[in-house]
Structure 1
Amino acid sequence: MEPEAKWNGSSEQVEFSRMSPRSQGFTKLPGQKTCGKSVLLFTFVLLISVALWAALLFLFLTRSKEIAQDLEKLQESCVYHNDSGIVTIIRQLQMDQWDLKNDVPQLSKALNKLQEDQTTLKSKASQMNQQLDRLEEDRTAFKSQVLNEQNAATQAWGKLQEEIEKLWTEFQRANGSICTNCPENWQLFEKKCYFFGKEPKTWSQAKFACVSLQGRLVSIKSKEEQAFLTQKANKKGSWIGLRDLDIEGEFVWMDGSPLNYSNWSPGEPNNQGQGEDCVAMRANNGRWNDANCRGQQESWICEKLATC
């Protein structure tokens, strides 16, 4: 019985060494979760083993009691019949009964050892689950941080490119160049080119559509620019590059400039309903209205600098 108990202890050490998170590293979370499942499976096997040992011990005790009763009956019969063969059988049964009694402490000890192993494995499994939870939290936080830094870097790079384009355009103008070139299907007004999208989109979809055209949602800075856009835009309403997504009530253009010129409809912005954080230019009169960013407008307006 003792070698079997020692073998179980060694198996526990092997399983625990396989489940150690230090041997797996930070980037192998799926493997660690598999180790956690292995611990649970091994714990389930131990529970079955404990139940079998308990059943076996109960059978031994029951059988020992039955043998004792049979011995008493045989002894009475032997005394009555004076049969030497029966006496021999009785003595053999008494020896078997004694052996069973000697096995009971060993079985109890093995059962206690299995229960201790079960408790230890439960504790280790709980520790492993806690470590896996912490690693998952760290991974999520790290992923979020990387995405935020990537977005910030992308925005900074876009602004840097825009500033470079502005400086290059001004330099060419200073040297006498005429900067009035716009891509096909774009329309020129003063120093900028404008694209009037015609497909229904949400504000975010319109923003990325302008980015894919190497532009951005329009920033309106003057009455003259507003009049031009009102004349050319879709008469059913168009998204423009104004929003207060970061701070409620603080509207900012896509180029990062503050709201120095406005053309709000009466009573707007009102942030009605579940929140209106994006701005659309209304049909016909070109007045602005704050609207739900997840809603759709029939059109959207992009802009970018004219080239020389």
Structure 2
Amino acid sequence: MYSKTQEQNMDFEAIYESDEDTTGPRTLSYIQAKGKALQCRGSRCLVLITVSLGLICVLLLIFIILLYFTITAERDLIKTYKNTAEEFNQTINSLQDNYTDLMTEKHQLQNNFSSLSQKKLELETKVNYLTAEKDQLQRDFDSLGQRNPDFEVTTLSDELKKNVSKGGNQCSLDGLFVSKKSMSWSASRQYCRDRGGDLVIIKSLEKQRLMSSLVRLSERAWIGLSDIANEGNLTWVDKSPLNQGFWFEGEPNDEDGNEDCVEMMAFSSTLNNWNDLSCSARRRGICEK
């Protein structure tokens, strides 16, 4: 490589030759001035090139930094997308599992519904059968009563006579009878009236004992006591007030405000077997003349 001095001499020679071709011989001072001018021009070019290279390096650095941040941001975004996709997949799998469980439960409920429907049909069939059997028994019973209308009274008299012979009860048996059918309290009373009597009145322990023996034959039966005329004030069918009662435990309770008539219950093991009941309930009636 040439040294800096050799380069300058070559420049001087080139200038000198150029000057000889155009204007003739020049002085040494002029040639030196010319060389210095060229040297200054080269230094400026070098500075410009250096500055340009520096700027290019700075721009490249900025570009690299921006590229790094862009790649990092895209990488984070891709990671976020990946996590989101995984969450979606987990949600989808969970929903599929829930759907499978719901379908299984649905099938189970359908099977239970089918089983209950079958049982319902069976119960309806049994109810229809029992209803038909009950109607047939009622018809047979009515037919028996028509063929022997004195059956119940005769049985009642026999039972009362046995009770009197055992306990020495002096209550009269004459005029006592029980209705053949179960009816409302008012219908039972009318039944008694149509036969010259009325529902029985019980004002003594002896008569209560006698009627308790009687009611075992009829299971449950109306007596002539109610508060139809005056709510809360129980009176007998002869309009006399109630002085002594033989109530079952917890009675009378006038449940739902609709129990205005009184029955005797056969299942009570004591003499306290009175119960207030809705007057529309169907019971037999104990009548006396």
**Does the alignment reach a TM-score above 0.5?**
no
TM-score (norm 1): 0.36
TM-score by length of 2: 0.39
Larger-Rg structure: 2
